[in-house]
Structure 1
């Protein structure tokens, strides 16, 4: 790993916020006493991500605003339910992964009961049956977590392979982004 930064995490956050707000990387580099390359390496990609997310927020807010009020309420309630489902699935995946880990450890301890010299002895066969059952249960328990990881990986691939699309929120000015971020922050 490289040498530690001379700036604190708070200072890097300030640089990120100011870069997103439209200040120039060269000016910030001079002010903070770091190279423009350091800012580009550490912050520019984050700033692009922030701009992208902000554009998505603006697009979503505009789309929501175009709906009649009754449908806006339905959309907001649906979004809330989708967030809850996502949170619950993530929790289920975590518990499933923990259960799979514990069952795998139990299966591993059962393997020690198998007599390597005589694996077909009754005690060894019984131990192997236990290993097989525990391993199957561990794999089944891990399925939710693995499916969630695969879905996440597939989504990331799709997002990274998509061409930028023009949309209602594309090419939003830094001032519009700032207003959108402030409106979102005000809601929380």
Structure 2
């Protein structure tokens, strides 16, 4: 665990405010008697994010003011509707997550109805069918929330693709005790042949 900061939250807020105002981290580090690395670690990512959002806001406001009044009204109305939709989807995700949790709990309780000695008798089959249906409903209820979580993670579609790997099987001489023993590599999909 790292050493606790000697600065108060108020001092950190002051450092962050001054960084955003354009002061240099090196000068602030000297003034507050901390390392510049500590300032970068604590404030770097957030300061960059605040500056990026501020630039986006300036660009959006500039573009907004360039529109005719009627288009400004339409843009504002559309933005308000999009915010409202976003809030409704967040609410739906919250309810969906709660529903998924409840249905999963009911499915879990139904597991006790399965006879371990006779899992395919009529009563167990009914319980298995109920568990399957409840689980599918729970998964469906969770979809909106899962989609919102994915959307907030800055995942690019190509990031979801599996990374291809090559499996290399090596043969090591057991009589040698160093790591420089000979290894035989085989192309993917081809297994080594046992020694005769």
- Shared fold by TM > 0.5? yes
Q: Which has the higher contact order (CA 8 A, sep 6+)?
A: 1
Q: Structure 1 or 2: larger helix share?
A: 1
Distance in structure 1 (CA, Å) of the matches to 2:3 and 2:103: 41
- How many pairs were matched up? 157
State the 4+ residue runs in structure 1 displaced beyond 6 angstroms: none
Distance in structure 2 (CA, Å) of the matches to 1:47 and 1:151: 22
1:1-188, aligned counterparts within 5 Å? 1-153=1-153, 156-157=154-155
Instruction: Report which of the two structures shows the higher radius of gyration computed on alpha carbons.
Output: 2
Distance in structure 2 (CA, Å) of the matches to 1:105 and 1:121: 23
Distance in structure 2 (CA, Å) of the matches to 1:68 and 1:119: 71
Per the TM alignment, residue 71 of structure 1 is displaced from its structure 2 partner at its CA by 1.2
TM-score, normalization: structure 1?
0.78
Distance in structure 2 (CA, Å) of the matches to 1:30 and 1:101: 52
Extract unaligned runs of 5+ from structure 1.
Answer: 162-188
Distance in structure 1 (CA, Å) of the matches to 2:107 and 2:35: 54
Distance in structure 2 (CA, Å) of the matches to 1:29 and 1:22: 14
Distance in structure 2 (CA, Å) of the matches to 1:6 and 1:117: 63
TM-score, normalization: structure 2?
0.75
Higher mean displacement: 22-31 or 63-72: 22-31
Distance in structure 2 (CA, Å) of the matches to 1:52 and 1:81: 24
Distance in structure 1 (CA, Å) of the matches to 2:106 and 2:67: 55
Q: Which residue of 2 aligns with 1:169?
A: none
Deviations 1:124-148 (A, max 9, x none): 1121121111111101101111222
Extract unaligned runs of 5+ from structure 2.
Answer: 160-196
Per the TM alignment, residue 12 of structure 1 is displaced from its structure 2 partner at its CA by 1.6
Residue 57 of structure 1 aligns to a residue in which SS?
A: helix
